[in-house]
A and B are shown apart, each in its own frame.
Chain A
Amino acid sequence: MHEKTHEPLIHITKRAFLEPWKALIVRICAVLLALLTAGLFIVLLTGLNPLEVYAEMFKGSFSTNRKFWILLQKTAMLLCIALAVTPAFKMKFWNLGAEGQVLAGGLACTACMFYLKDSLPNWLLILIMIAASVLSGIIWAIIPAFFKANWNTNETLFTLMMNYAAIQLVSFCIAKWVPNGSGVLPILNSSTKAGWLPTLFEKQYFLNVLIVAVITVVMYVYLKYSKHGYELSVVGESQNTAKYIGINVKKIILRTVALSGAICGVSGFLLVSGTGHTISTGLAGGNGFTAILVSWLAKFNPFIMVLTSLLISFLQRGASQIASSYQMDDSISDIVTGIILFFIIGCEFFINYKINFRKKEDK
């Protein structure tokens, strides 16, 4: 009893390195444990067979060719925003304004479709729409970046507030464009299809997916092999180091955030021109925030982001399938999604840290 122990029962040390295959095993274990826990919840709460529920979840994404394409589309839309926030986050610029930047891009794109209609050849109209979307996304992102670079304002709050400004702007435009007060802007140019991204190989989403795939590769190269990519990571690690080695920090901040906003603008363009052909305040649908999770989970690696965004889209599609098949309220599927994400994020702890138990000889 009076024996003094200097070593606690458990202590945690940071791992210097964990072999990739071991890290992989930890992650697989986490997923299995998550499925087990979620299964337990399902049985306790609903009395359903968890295996059937998982099969149903799987069916939500893979039972038909169409469902698979919808999964790809959802993944691409989420991934595109995740790719957009990544350079900013890697620079430790907390861009919580993706939602607003996507809306700004989408709104500019919609405005082109609304005012220009079919007055121009479609390829020209689409080029103008892309330019307008990218520019609006940049403007929406660069305002907080400008204040950050010059007066070191807090970008977390600033970008967040820019979201609400964008939402109000979209509401205002819809109210102006739709005088009957219903607040719903119908699909634009549905007879002429002016400004609609063309359907390739009879797949509406083919171009969306292709464009995001290209952005993924480009972003990987940009972050890993370009001078820009190196500079922004130095600014992220330490602004003083960056200054010391002669990097113009202000310029890097503005350039990187502009890139972030530009890709958000592209995302807005894809959501309007390639998907819905109209706009509402729910255009980004919360993906501006989910994208941050996607990016962090993948440790800012664009190729791993493909997997994390796929996982989240798969979970969301599966959740909706479960809700429909068992006519359950969406909460149960939210719980399942929550448990799975909790385990996946939680397992990072075991990858980064080692838990040491007190050795028995100490007694």
Chain B
Amino acid sequence: MKKLAKILSVILALALVLGLAACGGKTENDAEGNTEAPAVEGVDYSKVKIGFIFLHDPNASTYDANFYQAAKAVVANLGLSEDQVIYKWNIPEEGSDCYDTAAEMIDEGCNIIFADSFGHESNMLLAAADYPEVQFCHATGTHAIVSDLANYHNAFASIYDGRFLAGVAAGMKLNQMIEEGKITADQAKIGYVGAWPYAEVISGYTSFYLGARYICESATMDVVYTNSWFDIALEREGALKLIDDGCVLISQHADSEGAPKACEERGVPNVAYNKDTSDLGPTTAIVSSKINWEPYFTLIINSVAKGEAIPDDYCGSLATGSVQLTAVNEKVAAPGTAEKIEEVKALLEKGELKVFDTATFTVKGEKLESYTADVQDMGDYQPETEVIKDGAFVESGVDFGFRSAPYFDVIIDGITLK
């Protein structure tokens, strides 16, 4: 009898403990909200901990804000708890801060490290070599396809599609201005504030320009560089200079609010990047193209949770939802812009239209029949890969074993560097 009572009490105690544990689990889930639906059935996220390294403060930089918002959305969607994610911002590219930050995150249990800036790559590679059990994912980097490290990955997106569509919106606006008699056809000059004379920027403004010219044939474009990814004053000055030089529409590839605000001051329409800027320019912002990082973040977290390999190099697309346009600002955009964008987007998705179709542009008066680009970044800065295939420049061609980060670095006719 005594024995039975003992066994019974043990069973009861166990039941109580298990019951409590179950309760605890439940309340935790409740606290995370009801956003667990997109999480893949049966995937156990408990062993995932991800650290995000941002170059600038997302409160100030549109570039970092874009990553931060995607990260927060994915963390909420997958139901990760607060202690399964670390965010660090203002981590400079210079020195060893990025390495140290990654190592600190690993000390705190992170098994995925993500860094968002091009200049973080060297430190990320060092850390990846030192911590082979941790996955390192780096946006805009160029080394994953040439590196021996299995735990080092790059990612980018075919943002040239998005830029092209944003260019379509710009072309519509230019046509509207011509029709209304505000400018003549040859005054349809776009101004572009670029960051560095680097392929990512060149690819960006070229696809934007080709999109604009797809709609407005007489469009030309002036480009200025700030030689900085983030400099409010320089970006503002750049935009003002372009406006003074007769540019009637401005776009930019630089991370601050400098250019959109300058446009709002002067009443010049602006097409932006990374972020909906209609709050900065309510009467001038037309539309923004952006990379949506949610699909990639979901992919890497799911891969680690399931113990699967993360692709060496990932290029998001219109199809994966990685390339997006923000809502068209109807107050500024030409009538029918949203419809036109949808129409062109469908053509791009079907492959009937290619952004870098060599029939649509010339370089120094000639068609680009063949071009070798520095796709494999071996540190020698020498081009080695033929990138023209089937009459189009293959940008971010991960399907061909190329890298996802852009390598289109040709200045095409119609674009003038200032």
Q: Show the binding face of A for B, using Cβ within 8 Å.
A: 64, 66-67, 70, 171, 178-184, 186-187, 190, 204, 271, 275-280, 282-283, 285, 320, 323-324, 327, 329-330
Q: Is B222 in contact with chain A by the CB < 8 A criterion?
A: no
Q: B125: which of A67, A180, A181, A190 is its contact (CB, 8 Å)?
A: A190
How many pairs of residues, A versus B, come closer than 8 Å at their CB atoms?
83
Q: B409: which of A171, A180, A183 is its contact (CB, 8 Å)?
A: A180
Closest 9 CB pairs of A and B: A181-B197, A187-B122, A276-B95, A182-B198, A329-B59, A181-B198, A280-B94, A184-B119, A186-B122
Please determine whether B94 and A180 come into contact, CB atoms closer than 8 angstroms: no
Instruction: Using CB atoms, name the residue of chain A closest to B123.
Output: A187
Q: A275: which of B96, B227, B409 is its contact (CB, 8 Å)?
A: B96
Instruction: Using CB atoms, name the residue of chain A closest to B129.
Output: A190
A102 CB, min distance to chain B CBs, angstroms: 12
Contacts A180-B199, A181-B196 given: A327-B96 contact, CB under 8 Å?
Answer: no
Residues 192 to 248 of chain B near chain A (Cβ within 8 Å): 196-202, 227
Contacts A276-B96, A285-B92, A320-B90 given: A180-B374 contact, CB under 8 Å?
Answer: yes
Most chain B C-beta atoms within 10 Å of own C-beta, residue among A181, A275, A278, A327? A181
> Hey, which chain A residues are within 8 Å of B126, CB to CB?
187, 190
Interface size on B, residues (CB 8 A): 36
Instruction: Using CB atoms, name the residue of chain A closest to B200.
Output: A182
Q: Complex formed: what's the CA distance from A64 to B93 in Å?
A: 23
Q: Is B371 in contact with chain A by the CB < 8 A criterion?
A: no
Contacts A171-B227, A184-B118 given: A324-B89 contact, CB under 8 Å?
Answer: yes
Q: Is B88 in contact with chain A by the CB < 8 A criterion?
A: yes
A184 CB, min distance to chain B CBs, angstroms: 4
Contacts A190-B125, A327-B87 given: A179-B93 contact, CB under 8 Å?
Answer: no
Q: Complex formed: what's the CA distance from A182 to B119 in Å?
A: 9
Q: B93: which of A180, A181, A277, A280 is its contact (CB, 8 Å)?
A: A280
Contacts A67-B104, A271-B95, A285-B95 given: A183-B125 contact, CB under 8 Å?
Answer: no
> Hey, which chain A residues are within 8 Å of B299, CB to CB?
none
What are 16 A-B contacts with C-beta separation under 8 Å?
A64-B104, A180-B198, A180-B374, A181-B196, A181-B409, A183-B227, A187-B125, A187-B126, A190-B125, A276-B94, A283-B95, A285-B95, A320-B88, A324-B89, A330-B57, A330-B89
Please determine whether B381 and A180 come into contact, CB atoms closer than 8 angstroms: yes
Instruction: Using CB atoms, name the residue of chain A closest to B72.
Output: A327
Q: Complex formed: what's the CA distance from A226 to B277 in Å?
A: 62
Besides A186-B379, A330-B89, 20 new A-B residue pairs in contact (Cβ under 8 A), listed by A number: A64-B104, A66-B107, A171-B227, A178-B381, A179-B381, A180-B381, A181-B197, A182-B199, A187-B123, A190-B126, A271-B95, A276-B94, A278-B122, A280-B119, A282-B93, A283-B94, A323-B90, A327-B87, A329-B57, A330-B90
